[in-house]
Amino acid sequence: MAKNLNTVSVTALLLVLLMASTGILETEAACFKFLGECGAVPFTGSNADCKSCCEGKFGSAAVCAGRVEAEGGVNHCHCYGTS
């Protein structure tokens, strides 16, 4: 049992090191912090329009994604960043 647990721990550590060294953590997959909303409600544009709105509001360096998401059936533009 201890040997299996040790193998799992080493494997997880290697995966994290691989992700950090290849820049996977810097991609949109790491885009998790909610920065705020942008634009009019309901938001009628696309995800690309949403990201442009977010970059204008929060700065392009802070924004890694803009997503049009429905809240109660009404579309909102949500901005996400990595820090």
- Condensed to tens digits (0 to 9), the pLDDT of residues 44-58 reads 999 999 999 999 999
Phi, psi at 36, each rounded to 5°? 150, -175
Global pTM exceeds 0.85: no
- Within 13 Å and on the Cβ side, how many CA atoms surround 14? 6
Same domain, 35 and 19: no
Q: Which ranges in the chain belong to alpha helices (H)?
A: 2-22, 47-58
Look up the domain containing 18 and give its range. Answer: 1-27
Residues 46 and 81 in one domain: yes
Give yes or no: residues 59 and 76 share one domain: yes
Q: Which residue, chain included where needed, has tokens 């009019």?
A: 40
- Report the distance separating Cα 36 and Cα 15, nearest Å: 31
| pLDDT value of residue 67 | 94
Residues of the chain with pLDDT under 50: 13-20, 22-25
